[in-house]
C-alpha cells in the first residue's frame, strides 16, 4: 500500500472534464471526433471513455514515458493526472494488489495503430511498480518483447513493424506485488512470409532494402538483438545455433528445381544449382545428397512395403517451402519456450500457484489489403473474437445483470458479432470446419472449396463477387473484406513429409535435432518438455543409406506433424485451439481495455483524418461505449464480496458485519458516494465509484499500517532490550567465572612454587654441617628419627664441606624475610667437625623427586598465616563492581600484580651469589665441593 503523497512534475497538467468523453454534454459522433482531434493537435493522444483508454498513434516520439512519469502515475487517483497508458497499467496493478485477483489488459485496434508500443509501455510501468530486489529479472522482462518481435514482426504495406503473431505476456507477481517472473504464449505465427516476399511491399517506393549490410540502422538493430539475447540469458552456443538455422532458411529459399524427361518418366525433378543445395546443407550440418533425395522424392509405406516415388517440380517446391516454414515455426517456438524457462519464478521466493498475474494481449490488428489470403482470414477472425470479448464485458453482461437484479436502466443498442463468429467456428458447417473437410480430399481444389463455401454459408455475412471464380467476401465488424482463395487448401494442410524430418534429425546441430524431436501441441507450437526419441527415429530410410539401420515407420509417424495422413492436424484446427487457449487465459482475470486508433494511413505526425478515425470508432463501438458508461453501472459486486472488501470503511477492524443490504448501505453512506444502486444480490456502481472506494480503503489501511508499524517497533525495541540485558548478564557471569578460575590457578601456582622453595631451603639448611653441629640436639629432640635410607648417597657432605663457609666468618645465614619458614636458630652455621651434624646429615637426606615433607613446625604455621594475611589484605583493595558491569582484564591490575611470583622467586643466577642457598638440583654438588 502506498500511503505517501503523489509525485508531481511540471509537465503534468490538471485534470479537466475534457479528459473523459463521458463528461460531454452533447454526445454524438461529431462531438467525439472534434474532441479527439483537438486533443491530438495538442499532442494529448490519450483520452478516457470511463474506465477505457483511447490511444491515438502519434507517429513520433514523445517525452512522456520516462521513469519520472511512472512515478507520477503510480498509486494515485486517476483524476489527479491527464490520461495516460501508465494510468491504465497502474489501475490493473492496484486492482491486483488490492483484491488479490488476476488482471488482463486487452489492447486492440487496426494494424499500425500502435498496439505493440502500448504493450511495451505497459510492461515498462508494471516492471516499475512491481520492483523486486532482483534487478537482473527486471532487465530481462523489459527485453522480452524486443526479442520475440525481432523474430515475429515484419514489414507490411500498412505497418513497417507489424506483429505477425499473437502474443499474450503474463507478468507474475508475489502476493505483496513484487514481480517474480514472466511467461509468453504465442499464437498463429505467420510462417508463409519466410518463403516468398509479398508483392505489396516490393513496390517502386523502395521500402525493402536489398543492401542491408551497409545500412547503419540495421547494424544497430542487430546489436540490440545481440544485447537482448545476452541479457535474457541465452548462451553463445545457443545464439550461434539460432543464426545457423536462420541462415539455413534463407539458403533453402535459393534452391530451384528443374524437370527431368526420360523414356518412362517425365514428372521427375532435380536440383540444377548444386551450390545452393550444398550451402543450405552445410549451414544445417546435414548431407547434401540426403537433403536432395528428401526434396525430390518421397517414401510411401503400404502393406509393409516401402515405395519410393519421385516428386514433380511443383511438389518439390512445396516440400522445400514446407521445410522452411517448419524450421522457422519450430525455432520461434523454441525461443519462446527458452525465454519462459529463463524467466520462470524462483521457487525459493514464491511458487507460481501462490502468485498473481497481469496478462497483456498484443495481437495482430485487423487487416484489409488489396489481396487478402488465408493469413488475413485467420487474423481477422481472431480480431472478431477479441471484439466479441469486448462486447460481452462492456455491453452484454452488464445489461443482463440489470434484468436479473431488477435494476431500472435504459438498454444500449450495440452491434453483436456473435452470429458472425458462429459462421466461422461452429461445426460441422462453419467456414473453418468446411475448410478442414475439403483439405482431407486429395482431389479437392481451391475452386471446389469456394463452391462449398457458397453452398453452405447462406447468411448475410458471406458474399461472393461475380465474375471472379476464386474470391469470396466476408462482412466483418470492421467492414467488408475480399479474400483470394488461391493456395488456401495447401496452406491449411501445411504438410511436411516424414523424409525431411528424418534427415533433419541427423543434423550435427544439437538444436536442430531437438526442434524436430519434440512433438507439437494442439495449438501448433513446440511442446515445452522434450519428448523421448529413440535412435531408430533419427535414422534414415533404407534408400538414403544402405549401411544404416532400417527406419521404424511407426516411430516416424507417431506425431501428427510427421505424417502424410490426411487426417492430421491442419492450420485451421491449430487456429481454433489457439483461440480457445487464449480465451481461457483472458476470462480468468478482470479486464482492462485499451483501444488503439490510427489517425491516418500515411503514418504522418499531427495528421488527423476524420473519416478514418470515425470508421474505427464506429466498428469498435466507441459511441455505444460512451453511452453505456454514462447511463450504466460497469461494476457489479456481490453483497458478500463488497462487505468483505470494504467493511473497514464503516466498521471496526475486529467486527465481522453481516453480508446484507444494510451493511452495504452503511459502507456506501459512510463513503459519501452517490448514484449507486442496490440489486437483489449485488451492488451496482459507476466506473468511478470503485476508484473512490479503493482510495478510501487505501487511506484507512495506511493508517492501520502506521499503527502496526509503531506497535511492532515498540515490541521489537522491548524485545531487543531484554536480549541485550540477558547478553550483558551472561557476559558478566562468564567474566566473573573466568577471573575466579584464573585467580585460583595463579594462587595455586604461587603456593606450589613457594612450597617447593621452602622445601628446598629446609633441605639445603639441614644438609649443611654448620646447621647440623649447632642445632643437632634440637633436631634430635624435636623431630622423630628418620629411618628411611638415603636414596642419594652421593649427596652426603665431605669432611671438607665446612671450608666453603670458612672464608666468610661474618656472613651468618639467617632466614630471609621472603622465607618465613626458615627460623633464625636454624640459620646459624654448624660447627666444623661435629659428629652430631654429620649424623644428622646422614639421617635427613635430600628428598629429591619425592613428595615434599609436610611442614608442621611453629615457623611453618607463622609463614602460612603471614601469607594468608597478605592475600586478604590485597583482596580488600579491590573495588566492588556493579551488577552488569563488564570489567576489562588489565595486565596492570594491582590485585594480579600482588599474586605475581616475581618477588618470591628471584631469577638471578644463584652461582654468582654464594650467600643464597642453592636449589635442590644443585644442593648435592654444592655439598660435595
d(CA 821, CA 703): 83
Strand pairing partners for 526?
520
- Which of 351, 695, 643, 299 has its CA nearest to residue 503? 299
Please, are residues 150 and 222 in contact by the beta-carbon 8 Å criterion?
A: no
114 assigned binding-site residue: yes
Contact 172, 352 (CB under 8 A): yes
712 annotated as ligand-binding: no
Cα 583 from Cα 228, distance rounded (Å): 30
Residue of 333, 324, 266, 275 whose CA lies nearest to 295: 324
CB neighbourhood size of 32 (10 A): 22
- Report the DSSP pairing between strands 479-484 and 471-476: antiparallel
Give the containing element (helix H, strand E) for 684: strand 682-685
- Using the CB atoms, write b or e for 246-261: b if 16+ within 10 Å: bebbebbbebebeeee
Picking from 767, 755, 752, 916, the residue whose alpha carbon sits closest to that of residue 842 is: 767
- Residue whose entry in the numeric block shows the C-alpha cell 499500517: 705
Q: Is 517 annotated as a binding residue?
A: no
Q: What is the DSSP code (8-state) at residue 96?
A: H
- Residue 731 C-alpha cell reads as 557476559
Q: Which three cell numbers stand for residue 745?
A: 590457578
String of DSSP letters for 270-307 = E-S-HHHHHHHHHHHTS-HHHHHHHHHEEEEEETTEEE
**248 CB contacts (<8 Å, ≥6 apart)?**
280, 283, 284, 327
Omega before 623 within 30 of 0, i.e. cis = no
CA distance 459 to 543: 53
d(CA 101, CA 359): 12
482 strand-pairing partners: 473
Residue 595, strand partner residues: 54, 108
**Continuous segment of H or E residues that includes residue 104:** strand 103-108
CA quadruple 562, 566, 568, 571: dihedral, nearest 10: 100
Taken in order 434, 440, 445, 448, is the CA torsion positive or negative? negative
Distance CA 563, CA 568 (A): 7
Q: Is 113 labelled as part of a ligand binding site?
A: yes
116 assigned ligand-binding residue: yes
Q: Would you state the cell numbers that stand for residue 777, as one nine-digit string?
A: 640436639
* Rounded alpha-carbon distances, angstroms, from residue 147 to 144, 288, 557: 5, 32, 33
Q: Tell me whether residue 801 is annotated as binding.
A: no
DSSP characters over 66-106: SHHHHHHTSSS-GGGS---HHHHHHHHHHHHHHH---EEEE
In sequence order, the β-bridge partners of residue 677 are 684
Q: Which three cell numbers stand for residue 287?
A: 548431407
DSSP state of 648: G
890-899 contacts: CB < 8 A, separation 24 or more? Answer: 895/743, 896/743, 896/746, 898/870, 898/871, 898/874, 899/743, 899/746, 899/747, 899/750, 899/874
How many angstroms separate the CA atoms of 179 and 130, rounded?
5
Residues 112, 395: contact at Cβ < 8 Å?
no
C-alpha dist (Å) from residue 328 to 162, 192, 323, 513, 699: 17, 10, 9, 14, 53
409-428 burial string, b = 16+ CB within 10 Å, else e? Answer: beebebeebeebbebbbeee
Q: Give the Cα separation of 344 and 233 in Å (integer).
A: 12
Binding-site residues for ATP sit at 109-116
Binding-site residues sit at 109-116
Amino acid at each position: 500500500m502506498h500511503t505517501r503523497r503523489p509525485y508531481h512534475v511540471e509537465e503534468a497538467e490538471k485534470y479537466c472534464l475534457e479528459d473523459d468523453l463521458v463528461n460531454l454534454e452533447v454526445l454524438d459522433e461529431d462531438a467525439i471526433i472534434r474532441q479527439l482531434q483537438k486533443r491530438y493537435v495538442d499532442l494529448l493522444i490519450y483520452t478516457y471513455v470511463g474506465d477505457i483508454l483511447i490511444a491515438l498513434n502519434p507517429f513520433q516520439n514523445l517525452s512522456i514515458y520516462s521513469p519520472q512519469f511512472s512515478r507520477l502515475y503510480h498509486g494515485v487517483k486517476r483524476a489527479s493526472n491527464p490520461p495516460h497508458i501508465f494510468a491504465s497499467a497502474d489501475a490493473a496493478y492496484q486492482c491486483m494488489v488490492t483484491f488479490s485477483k488476476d488482471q488482463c489488459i486487452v489492447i486492440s485496434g487496426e494494424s499500425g495503430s500502435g498496439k505493440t508500443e502500448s504493450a511495451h509501455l505497459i510492461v515498462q510501468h508494471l516492471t516499475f511498480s512491481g520492483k523486486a530486489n532482483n534487478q537482473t529479472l527486471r532487465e530481462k522482462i523489459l527485453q522480452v518483447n524486443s526479442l520475440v518481435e525481432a523474430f515475429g514482426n515484419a514489414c507490411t504495406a500498412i505497418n513497417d513493424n507489424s506483429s505477425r503473431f499473437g502474443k499474450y505476456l503474463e507478468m507474475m507477481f508475489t502476493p505483496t506485488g513484487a514481480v517474480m517472473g514472466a511467461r509468453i504464449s504465442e499464437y498463429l505465427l505467420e510462417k508463409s512470409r519466410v518463403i516468398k516476399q509479398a508483392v505489396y511491399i516490393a513496390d517502386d517506393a523502395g521500402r525493402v532494402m536489398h543492401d542491408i549490410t551497409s545500412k547503419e540502422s540495421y547494424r544497430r538493430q542487430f546489436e540490440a538483438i545481440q544485447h537482448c539475447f545476452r541479457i535474457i540469458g541465452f548462451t553463445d552456443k545457443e545464439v550461434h545455433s539460432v543464426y545457423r538455422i536462420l541462415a539455413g532458411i534463407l539458403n533453402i529459399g535459393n534452391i530451384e528445381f528443374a524437370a527431368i524427361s526420360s523414356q518412362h518418366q517425365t514428372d521427375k525433378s532435380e536440383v540444377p544449382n548444386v551450390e545452393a543445395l550444398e550451402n543450405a546443407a552445410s549451414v544445417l550440418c546435414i548431407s547434401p545428397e540426403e537433403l536432395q533425395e528428401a526434396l525430390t522424392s518421397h517414401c510411401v509405406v503400404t502393406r509393409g512395403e516401402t515405395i519410393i516415388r519421385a516428386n514433380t517440380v511443383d511438389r518439390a517446391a512445396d516440400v522445400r517451402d514446407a521445410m522452411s516454414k517448419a524450421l522457422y515455426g519450430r525455432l520461434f517456438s523454441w525461443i519462446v519456450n527458452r525465454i519462459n524457462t529463463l524467466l520462470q519464478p524462483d521457487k525459493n521466493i514464491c511458487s507460481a500457484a501462490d502468485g498473481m498475474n497481469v496478462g497483456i494481449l498484443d495481437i495482430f490488428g485487423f487487416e484489409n489489403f488489396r489481396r487478402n489470403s488465408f493469413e488475413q482470414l485467420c487474423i481477422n477472425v481472431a480480431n472478431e473474437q477479441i471484439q466479441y470479448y469486448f462486447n460481452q464485458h462492456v455491453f452484454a453482461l452488464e445489461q443482463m445483470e440489470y434484468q436479473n437484479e431488477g435494476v431500472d436502466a435504459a438498454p444500449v443498442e450495440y452491434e453483436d458479432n456473435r452470429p458472425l463468429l458462429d459462421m466461422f467456428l461452429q461445426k460441422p458447417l462453419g467456414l473453418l470446419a468446411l475448410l478442414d473437410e475439403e483439405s482431407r480430399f486429395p482431389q479437392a481444389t481451391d475452386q471446389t472449396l469456394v463452391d462449398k463455401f457458397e453452398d453452405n454459408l447462406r447468411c448475410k455475412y458471406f458474399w461472393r463477387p461475380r465474375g471472379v471464380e476464386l474470391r469470396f467476401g466476408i462482412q466483418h465488424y470492421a467492414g467488408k473484406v475480399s479474400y483470394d482463395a488461391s493456395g488456401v487448401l495447401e496452406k491449411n494442410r501445411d504438410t511436411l513429409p516424414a523424409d525431411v524430418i528424418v534427415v533433419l534429425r541427423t543434423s550435427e546441430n544439437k538444436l536442430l535435432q531437438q526442434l524436430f524431436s519434440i512433438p507439437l501441441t494442439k495449438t501448433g507450437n513446440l511442446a515445452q518438455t522434450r519428448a523421448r526419441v529413440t535412435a531408430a527415429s533419427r535414422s534414415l530410410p533404407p534408400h538414403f543409406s544402405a549401411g544404416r539401420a532400417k527406419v521404424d515407420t511407426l516411430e516416424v509417424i507417431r506425431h501428427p506433424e510427421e505424417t502424410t495422413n490426411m487426417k492430421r492436424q491442419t492450420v485451421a484446427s491449430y487456429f481454433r485451439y489457439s483461440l480457445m487457449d487464449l480465451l481461457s487465459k483472458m476470462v480468468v482475470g478482470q479486464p482492462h481495455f485499451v483501444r488503439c486508433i490510427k489517425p491516418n494511413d500515411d503514418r504522418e505526425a499531427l495528421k488527423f483524418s476524420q473519416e478514418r478515425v470515425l470508421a474505427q470508432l464506429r466498428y469498435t463501438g466507441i459511441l455505444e461505449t460512451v453511452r453505456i458508461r454514462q447511463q450504466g453501472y460497469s461494476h457489479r459486486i456481490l453483497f458478500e464480496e463488497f462487505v468483505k472488501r470494504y467493511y473497514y470503511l464503516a466498521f471496526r477492524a475486529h467486527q465481522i458485519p453481516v453480508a446484507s443490504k444494510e451493511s452495504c448501505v452503511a459502507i456506501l453512506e459512510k463513503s459519501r458516494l452517490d448514484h449507486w444502486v442496490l440489486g437483489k444480490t449485488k451492488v451496482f456502481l459507476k466506473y468511478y465509484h470503485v476508484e473512490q472506494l479503493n482510495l478510501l480503503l487505501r487511506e484507512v489501511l495506511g493508517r492501520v499500517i502506521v499503527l502496526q508499524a509503531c506497535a511492532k517497533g515498540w515490541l521489537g525495541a522491548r524485545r531487543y532490550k531484554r536480549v541485550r540485558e540477558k547478553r550483558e548478564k551472561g557476559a558478566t557471569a562468564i567474566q566473573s567465572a573466568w577471573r575466579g578460575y584464573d585467580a585460583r590457578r595463579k594462587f595455586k601456582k604461587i603456593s606450589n612454587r613457594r612450597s617447593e622453595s621452602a622445601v628446598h631451603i629446609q633441605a639445603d639448611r639441614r644438609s649443611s654441617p654448620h646447621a647440623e653441629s649447632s642445632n643437632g640436639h634440637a633436631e634430635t629432640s624435636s623431630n622423630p628419627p628418620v629411618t628411611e635410607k638415603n636414596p642419594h648417597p652421593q649427596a652426603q657432605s665431605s669432611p671438607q664441606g665446612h671450608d666453603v663457609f670458612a672464608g666468610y666468618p661474618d656472613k651468618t645465614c639467617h632466614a630471609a624475610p621472603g622465607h618465613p619458614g626458615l627460623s633464625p636458630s636454624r640459620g646459624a652455621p654448624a660447627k666444623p667437625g661435629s659428629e652430631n651434624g654429620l649424623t644428622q646429615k646422614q639421617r635427613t637426606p635430600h628428598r629429591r623427586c619425592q613428595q615434599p615433607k609436610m611442614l608442621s613446625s611453629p615457623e611453618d604455621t607463622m609463614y602460612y598465616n603471614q601469607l594468608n594475611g597478605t592475600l586478604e589484605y590485597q583482596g580488600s583493595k579491590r573495588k566492588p563492581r556493579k551488577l552488569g558491569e563488564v570489567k576489562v582484564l588489565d595486565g596492570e591490575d594491582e590485585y594480579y600484580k600482588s599474586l605475581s611470583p616475581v618477588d618470591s622467586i628471584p631469577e638471578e643466577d644463584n652461582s654468582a651469589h654464594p650467600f643464597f642457598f642453592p636449589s635442590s638440583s644443585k644442593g648435592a654438588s654444592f655439598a660435595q665441593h
